[in-house]
Amino acid sequence: MIGSAGHLFNVRICISIMGIVGNAFLIVCVTQTKFTRVKTFELFLLGLAVANLEDILVVNVYDIITIQSSSIGSNILLCRFLKFLTVFGEITSILFTVLISIFRYQKLRDAGKRVNLPIYLDSIRLAWMVSGACVMLSILLSVPIFTISLQGRVENGTRNIGCPPDFFQCSKTYCPVPNGIFKYLFIILCNLLPLIIVTVTGCLIVVVLLNQRKTVTPVVSVSGSSQLGRKSRGGLRHQRSTIAVLAAMGLFQVDWTLYLIFQLTFSPADLPYWGEMEFFISTSYTSISPYVYGIGNNLFSLKNLMKR
């Protein structure tokens, strides 16, 4: 049992380090561009990376507090604050993923008819406003952490359980009404609805790509070959970026589908390694996605960094 816990802890450390390095590297790559030249997609990637990095760091700190709750569990305010930051990071990461999926679909939809005409989200001012709205919404959805009960049921009544490993402090046999309301509102608004949006936009992006492949490329003259070459290289970069977005969306779907199943099926009393399993499921996307976006968008390349 102790050996298994040690192996899980080592894997956890590796995933955390990988996520911290990947998100920090993505932030550096994006911020090296002057903010006056940052595009909407890069802004959304920056917001996603910052949210991922915050989530990974706070989750690890919170779980350390949870492990040592017998000695410092009386600091309820610290528990609530760390739980608030954990929820805030998760929701912000989810919302920026939704923004990225919607933005990429809008860019692909009717691209042949629009040619180089921008879409609404191409406006960097509007992109900043939408990003700010996502952050504010994440804060509002995280505030109930300060109102839910931190009481756990025991055989002879209730007791204070300090920093509980269960995110919602609920079990199958007992769940305070505010906790239950917040749990299912959180699942519907922050997990299920974004999962549906990302799945639908992902399917629509695939449909658009399949329709584009059916389009016959016209024959051009030799004088226009250099211009065609530039366009084809740009098209290949855009296609690679879109594939990266689709791969990250697929990872998001698998990750949060497992998270939903996990939250709705099990409770801390059922599994001895509840905290570790929840960590691996909820952190896999935040740790792997920066590499998918960075490599697919040619941000994680030595040539690109030297240019910057």
Assign 192 a pLDDT band (cuts: 50, 70, 90): very high
Distance CA 213, CA 217 (A): 9
Asked whether the beta carbons of 65 and 78 are under 8 A apart, the reply is yes
Radius of gyration of the chain, Cα coordinates, nearest whole angstrom: 22
Question: How do residues 89-110 score in pLDDT, each as one tens digit?
Answer: 999 999 999 999 999 998 888 7
Question: How do residues 194-222 score in pLDDT, each as one tens digit?
Answer: 999 999 999 999 998 888 776 645 544 44
Asked whether the beta carbons of 86 and 298 are under 8 A apart, the reply is no
- pTM, entire model: 0.84
Q: What is the domain partition of the chain in residue ranges?
A: 11-214+231-307
- CA-based nearest residue to 218, from 209, 206, 228: 228
Mean pLDDT of the 52-67 span: 83
pLDDT computed for residue 80 by the predictor: 83
Question: How do residues 274-306 score in pLDDT, each as one tens digit?
Answer: 667 778 887 889 999 999 998 888 887 656 555
Question: How do residues 215-261 score in pLDDT, each as one tens digit?
Answer: 645 544 444 554 545 545 555 777 788 899 999 999 999 999 988 88
- CATH code of domain 11-214+231-307: 1.20.1070.10
Residue with tokens 């959805």: 141
- CA-based nearest residue to 290, from 51, 8, 11, 92: 51
Find the angle CA(296)-CA(127)-CA(184) to the nearest 5 degrees. 85
